[in-house]
Amino acid sequence: MLSRALGARAILRATATATTTRRLAVATPRMTRPIVRLQHTSKPVSAQVFKPLDTFPRRHIGPGAAEKEAMLKEVGVKDIDELLAKAIPAAIRSPKPLALAEGMPERDLLKRLKSIAEKNKVYRSYIGMGYTDTVVPNVILRNVLENPAWYTQYTPYQPEISQGRLESLLNFQTMVADMTGLPFANASLLDEGTAAAEAMLMCWQTGRRNKNTFVVDENCHPQTIACLKTRAESFKINVVVADVFNYNFTENKKNLSGVLLQYPNTRGTVHDYEALTATVHAAGGQVAVATDLMALAMLKSPGEFGADIALGNSQRFGVPLGFGGPHAAFFACKEDQKRRMPGRIIGVSKDAEGNPALRLALQTREQHIRREKATSNICTAQALLANMSAMYAVYHGPEGIKAIAERIHGMTGVLAQGIRDSGYAIENDGAFFDTLSVKVDSSAAIIQKALEKEINLRAINNNTVSITLDETVGQQDVVDLLQVFAKDSSSVNLEQVVANAAGATQSNVPVQLQRTSAYLQHPIFNSHRSETEMMRYIHHLQSKDLSLVHSMIPLGSCTMKLNATTEMVPVTWSEFSNIHPFAPSDQTEGYKIMLEELEKDLEEITGFDAASLQPNSGAQGEYAGLRAIGAYHAARGEGHRNVCLIPISAHGTNPASAAMAGMDVVIVKCDDDGKLDVKDLKAKVEKNKDKLAAIMITYPSTYGMFEPGVVEACDIVHKNGGQVYMDGANLNAQIGLTKPAEIGADVCHMNLHKTFCIPHGGGGPGMGPIACKSHLAPYLPGHPIVPTGGQNAIGPVSAAPYGSASILPISWSYIKLMGREGMTDATKAALLNANYMRSRLEGHYDILYTNDSGMCGHEFIVDIRPFVPKGIEAIDIAKRLQDYGFHSPTMSFPVTNTLMVEPTESESKVELDRFCDAMIAIRKEIEDVVSGKVPKDNNVLKNSPHSLEVMMSDKWDKPYPRELAAFPVPHLRANKFWPTVSRVDDAYGDRNLMCTCPSPEEYLE
């Protein structure tokens, strides 16, 4: 067969080259494309011949010239300039084009970035401090981290088409619960430092917000202590850094809300905290333990010694170091604390057929519902990395994890013996897992000797160095380390050291701390040992989830645009991914160049003077920006300014971040047209003018409009002593046409995982850097280990100095590939795509909040409220869209029972039309309900989505044909995405909360 096929191909090739005109007839499953004739004309050779053909903007921007022409016609404008003039108020248009470089072709870009990356030096880093090298199983690297079917997914708000990642995140929770010995875990936080800050707040809330002392052991990681202090300031929590074994909890119990311990601690010591935990409990405090999942494979779990909360970084479970991130922080607590838990939680519920189905649980704690009263401001977390860590546990299983932990521990024991043999004292001898703190004459001298071998160690002080071993370490690495400590490096005899270590009687984990309890017993962690099984499991889960590999995800406010392969490739280059966040600066020159260039480009795009790349989500950016505003006021003797005005239409993270920054939230109304109610704004400003700190505005607004009143609103706030924070989630509608600084903002965050092409990863990672005017620059966040930020920097808002640094090459690449013109063209295309869809849907649905010229910005809102009295709600359309192969637009935000559509510039007209056709077909289905032609409660909308199981069942008692349910439009026959469960019952899941993997028996029940 193969030779016949090859023969046919050869004949085809010969025929094609024999003629100068070729016919290309390409049939796609979706449609038949028109026949295209390629004319070969001979042109005179010139220098033009060297012009590269791999230019990028035409790959990033969906519609081509002919498509744009047709779309402009549909919108009713003669050209794009007319559209822009009608959509954007003239007063805010930028006077000058963007001063960015020309766009680079794809191959040139990769060459340039490689030459920058090669300026990083990839040394072996045994620095520890919560970041430890790991062997990322290639089956996970290729099939999860480098796989668009995983990294382009959205947060699983539509559970019926997200069961794969929900299962994987449930595995993550189960793994965390098992390892920590605590029953209840979430599906990741942003990093260990901020997870510790969340724990502190949880303890404070438990103490009803009036016990203001939180004790932190002095041997917690320094960046964790710094993050805690930053967060504590706004709540006036008194962080006491102390030696917990010498702190008098009983005497200080009156104000004690809790204590943070590190296990093993930052110097590697494994302490027995059981008695201490009892003392803290007796004093009325809670115990939070920052810990290490790998160490817990050998150590008694925090839950077993009585801890209330356990948290940490799951990075060493199969996620690259990445110069600090992205990695998934984990967080677990006792049952009675679950409603105070920050972040996303996955729970088990059931679908309409009574089958088990997973979903996001207890959402009523979260910012998008509870706003300033939420348990945290977390929206984007670290889902993709949590999935990687969960897969690592699935791949290795309990015996594999134990073997890895024992190997690391065993090698550390050998190293300890050799160091002892060389005459050094080990501070934590006999009580370590993977980290040794060694007393030396000069830390600098030892560090230098190690550097000569391309090894990084940590200097704890002038006379103590620490070494943290990891899974990548082998025999030669141990020999190299022994040579660093040997008086005479040629005398190192590993065999002898091993023999001495074996002869040593002392155990390196105190007996009472050795783990005896089992973990990872669920079948999911015991069934996928061969790579074949693992590959199939990953693929099995992936095939349940709809992502950008299937169809457009038109989520308003989320900008689900292309995450191009060329942008993604550098993320896993070793020069970016294998760097410790605290590596010496001469090893991170490449990062420095890339980060500085990115900062400069972001400053140009926003019109601001300075930027910070530290915040690792949009919400963290909001927090950082508001804290910088607070510090600015305080520096001018106006520290009492603490009122933050927030329009009613704002995203939930805005009020939640303002509350976290210690501000009082005052809501500003919007008028009936969706515009900021300037009258109400003036009244609220007048009422609060002595205390006015800031206003947070999203632009274009979350109603999808460029509000003409924005400049006036900024003016009013400035005149009354406030600052303007711009939520930059909608920056995709501004680039090249207007700038936050020109509009009047003082600071804004950018969601790099929206506008700047970092993929959403099924709920993270993200990056939310901030840019600001020069007067706020001194307050940009600092860091205790790597100097960052302004002269009067606020404390760190992330554990790592540059947040999730290893995904920043994505945004750097996007800007460089698109260049000045491409970036602006992308914005124009985003506006055109949105207005085209608006125009196509307008006759079928009411579109809310267009401007005076009838235009929307980069997104628009479809009003479903007129159908509600007839029984059809936004959720019914969202679920029915799944039958048509689409992810729903944003549902009921910012207005209940609406759908907010944002197509982005990356979707072609063909795809926009497919979506519009689906919406129009659904409108007819709605009409059948509205007119009473079909039953109100038993129709194709109410019963959607229709899973394969429902469709294939022998029982079919629905009052419409199967065909209509599954194939409402013809192209679905060739390309159908099947929801794997039918509509998920949210209420049942919250009533019967289960947040770890159910046993197979429970599944069957």
Residues that bind ligand PLP (CB under 6 A): 379-380, 557-558, 617-619, 651, 653, 698, 702, 727, 729, 751, 766, 768
369 near 363, Cβ under 8 Å?
yes
Instruction: Say if residue 433 is exposed, middle or buried (CB neighbours under 10 Å; 0-12, 13-18, 19+).
Output: buried
Whole-number minimum distance, CB 562 to ligand PLP, in Å?
A: 18
Q: What is the CA radius of gyration of the chain?
A: 29
Shortest approach of ligand PLP to residue 343 CB, angstroms? 11
Nearer to ligand PLP, 177 or 328 (CB): 328
Cis upstream peptide for 326 (omega within 30°):
yes
Residue 744 CA to residue 741 CA, distance in Å, equals 5
| 3-class secondary-structure state, position 439 | strand
CB of 651 to ligand PLP, least distance (A): 3
**Considering beta carbons, is residue 380 or 827 the nearer one to ligand PLP?**
380
Q: Which is nearer to ligand PLP, 471 or 859 (CB)?
A: 859
**In terms of CB distance, is 110 or 560 closer to ligand PLP?**
560
Can you tell me the distance from the alpha carbon of 70 to that of 879, in angstroms, rounded to the nearest whole number?
31
* Min CB(652)–ligand PLP separation in Å: 8
- The answer to whether residues 283 and 390 touch, using CB atoms and an 8 Å cutoff, is no
CB of 418 to ligand PLP, least distance (A): 47
Which of 568/646 has CB closer to ligand PLP? 646
- Closest contact distance (angstroms) between CB of 557 and ligand PLP is 4
Tell me whether residue 306 or residue 766 sits nearer to ligand PLP (CB atom). Answer: 766
Q: Between 808-842 and 106-117, two packed helices, what is the crossing angle to 10 degrees?
A: 150
Q: Of the candidates 33, 154, 84, 26, which has an alpha carbon nearest to the alpha carbon of residue 910?
A: 33
Q: How far is the CB of 733 from ligand PLP (least distance, A)?
A: 12
Q: Which is nearer to ligand PLP, 642 or 702 (CB)?
A: 702
Query: Which residues 6+ apart lie within 8 Å of 85 measured at CB?
Result: none
CB-based contact 129:458 (threshold 8 Å): yes
Q: What is the DSSP letter of 42?
A: -
Structure tokens that stand for 841 in this block: 């849907």
- In the bound state with ligand PLP, the residue whose beta carbon lies nearer, of 467 and 661, is 661
Nearer to ligand PLP, 412 or 751 (CB): 751
Query: Smallest distance from the beta carbon of 793 to ligand PLP, in angstroms?
Result: 22
Residues 6 or more apart in contact with residue 660 via CB below 8 angstroms = 231, 234, 376, 377, 623
Least Å from the CB of residue 754 to ligand PLP: 7
CB of 512 to ligand PLP, least distance (A): 42
**Beta carbon nearer to ligand PLP, 766 or 885:** 766
The residue among 548 and 619 lying less far from ligand PLP, judged by its C-beta, is 619
**Minimum CB distance to ligand PLP smaller for 179 or for 379:** 379
CB 881 within 8 A of CB 888: yes
| Least distance to ligand PLP, CB of residue 20, Å | 52
CB of 787 to ligand PLP, least distance (A): 26
Q: How far, in Å, CA of 598 to CA of 278, rounded?
A: 50
Smaller CB separation from ligand PLP, 168 or 620: 620
- Whether 830 and 730 have beta carbons less than 8 Å apart is answered as no
* Nearest distance, CB of residue 730 and ligand PLP, angstroms: 6
Shortest CB 751 distance to ligand PLP, Å: 5
Quick one: which of 822, 737, 760, 759 has its CA closest to 109?
822
Of residues 119, 177, 49, 97, the one with CA closest to residue 579: 119
CB of 527 to ligand PLP, least distance (A): 34
Question: Two tokens at 761?
Answer: 């990863």
Residue carrying structure tokens 């294998």:
578
If the CB atoms of residues 379 and 538 are measured against ligand PLP, the closer one turns out to be 379
How large is the greatest C-alpha to C-alpha distance in the chain, in angstroms? 94
Which distant-in-sequence residues (6+ apart) come within 8 Å of 644 by Cβ? 626, 658, 661, 663, 664, 665, 666, 693, 694, 695, 696, 725
542-559 burial by CB neighbour count: b if 16+ within 10 A, else e? bebbbbbebbbbbbbbbb
Is residue 726 within 8 A of residue 743, CB to CB? The reply is: yes
* Token pair 């790099």: residue: 752
Question: How far is residue 696's CA from residue 687's CA, in Å, rounded to a whole number?
Answer: 17
Tell me how far apart the alpha carbons of residues 736 and 702 are, in angstroms, rounded to a whole number: 20
DSSP 752-821: TTTTT----TTT------EEE-TTTGGGS---SSS--S-TTPPPPSSSSTTSSGGGHHHHHHHHHHHHHH
Task: Give whichever of 305 and 849 is closer to ligand PLP, judged by the CB atom.
Answer: 849
> In the structure encoding, which two tokens stand for residue 156, read together?
């699983």
Please return the burial class of 14, using the count of CB atoms within 10 Å of its CB with bins 0-12, 13-18 and 19+: exposed
E-only strand ranges, 334-450 = 346-350, 356-360, 425-426, 435-439
Nearer to ligand PLP, 768 or 989 (CB): 768
Which is closer to ligand PLP, CB of 731 or CB of 926?
731
Q: Compute the distance between CA of residue 337 and CA of residue 948 in angstroms, rounded to an integer.
A: 38
Contacts 24+ apart (CB under 8 A), 706-711: 706/87, 706/88, 706/89, 706/92, 706/733, 706/851, 706/857, 707/675, 707/676, 708/89, 708/91, 708/675, 708/851, 709/675, 709/676, 709/678, 710/92, 710/676, 710/743, 710/744, 711/91, 711/92, 711/743, 711/744
d(CA 919, CA 103): 36
- Min. distance of Cβ 753 from ligand PLP in angstroms? 6
Q: How far is the CB of 697 from ligand PLP (least distance, A)?
A: 10
Closest approach of ligand PLP to the CB of residue 766, in Å? 4
Shortest-Cβ-distance residue relative to ligand PLP: 618
Closest to ligand PLP by CB, 411 or 729: 729
